[in-house]
Every structure is written in structure tokens, then in C-alpha cells.
Amino acid sequence: MAKNRFNQHWLHDHINDPYVKLAQREGYRARAAYKLKEIDEQDKLIRPGQVIVDLGATPGSWSQYARNKLAQGNRKNEGGIDGTIIALDILPMEPIADVHFLQGDFRDDAVLEQLETIVGAQAVDLVISDMAPNLSGVASADAARIEHLCDLALEFSQNHLRPEGALLVKCFHGSGYSQIVEKFKRQFKVVAARKPKASRDKSAETFILGKGLKTPGKGV
């Protein structure tokens, strides 16, 4: 009974969520689009001409938002975008126009190599990651899983970002959070935490933004 009450409560909140209604009205696949939109409007992350890598992309609302921003820079031509978006997720994703999608597990070296092959010699301007592991409820184990995903995103960014590029990752307040922030500070000149209004109040999720590599890697 308790589980049914929880499901009914969640469903009621979801149906009445203003961001869910807005997403349906504006054609986004998930309310998460407005988390990225708010951070982008504050930090001016997405601009025409960029190469963007979207990790944990499914169902695709972050890629949709990024695509819309890059399409604004291509007013001279009908359709298309001014830039490149490469999306990756372990789950399948319905196609999005002008978005290159790779299905696979980012923790798998073979999948990471495929992603790096698609990126090729291009220097990446922005890495956005809404990845989250399946949480077990065991704080120490969950913290380790979250930190591992952040480590992989940091390593990929170190190898592929332009010196002035940026990385935005989803994280969770709790065990291991401060260690992740410290890793960002070692790698980036500017580090900031973002909690957009579209992120539910009850959620421990927050987003960490790193801008400007202290030691440029291969993406120079």
C-alpha cells in the first residue's frame, strides 16, 4: 500500500509539474531540458559553431536544447545546425536531426574508443553530462559509482576539450561530493556549483561546472 501511495503521489506531482507541462508544450522529451537551459542562460555555455558532446543523453532533451541553440546560428541556410553534437547513452534514443548518436556504456573502454573515433581530431568546446548510475541506496557504493562517472567525464574532457572549453556534470550532494569538486578545481580554472530551479527541491542533485583547463590536453 505504501508503495502505491508513493507512486500515486509521484504521478500527481509529475502531471502537475510546470516544467513537465512546458516540455510538452515546447516539444522537449523531458523536463531536464530546462535545467540545461537555465545553466546555459546564466553561464553562456552554448554558442553556434561549437562541438558539443552530450553524455547520458537519452531521452535526448539536452541534445534537443543544444541543437536548437546551434540551429539559431545557421539562419543563412534552411535547416541544419552551425556546429556538431555527439550524444552517447547506454540506452537507445529516438533520432534527433543533426545529432550523431552512439549507444553504449561510457564506462566501457571500447565504447569510449568509438566516441573518441567519432570526435576525431576535432577539439571539443563543451561536454555536458546528465549521467547517473543506478543507485542502490548504499551511500558508500553510490558515492563511488557517481565519482567514477565524474572521473571518466573529467578524463575525457582533459583529453578532448579546447583550453577554454567547459564541462558540466550532474552530481549529488552527499558522500564523495567534496572530493569531486576538488578534482574539478585541480583541472579547471573556474569551478561553480549550479542548482537550477527545474531541479526538484527534494532532489540532492546538483551540477558542477568547470571552465578553462589549467593544463590543456590533446584538444588544443
Q: Cell digits for 66?
A: 543544444
What is the rounded distance in angstroms from the CA atom of residue 34 to the CA atom of residue 107? 27
Identified catalytic residue from 170, 197, 202, 211: 170
Q: Is 10 annotated as a binding residue?
A: no
Residue ranges with strand state E in 90-154: 99-103, 124-129
Radius of gyration of the chain (CA): 17
Q: How far apart are CA 166 and CA 143, in angstroms?
A: 23
Q: Alpha carbon 164 to chain centroid distance?
A: 18
Cα(2)–Cα(107) distance, rounded to whole angstroms? 35
Q: Residue 130 annotated as binding?
A: yes
Note if 218 is an active site residue. no
Does 105 show up as a binding residue in the annotation? Answer: yes
Q: Is 13 annotated as a binding residue?
A: no
The Cα 132–Cα 99 span in angstroms is 21
Binding site for S-adenosyl-L-methionine, by residue number, is 60, 62, 89, 105, 130
Catalytic residues: 170
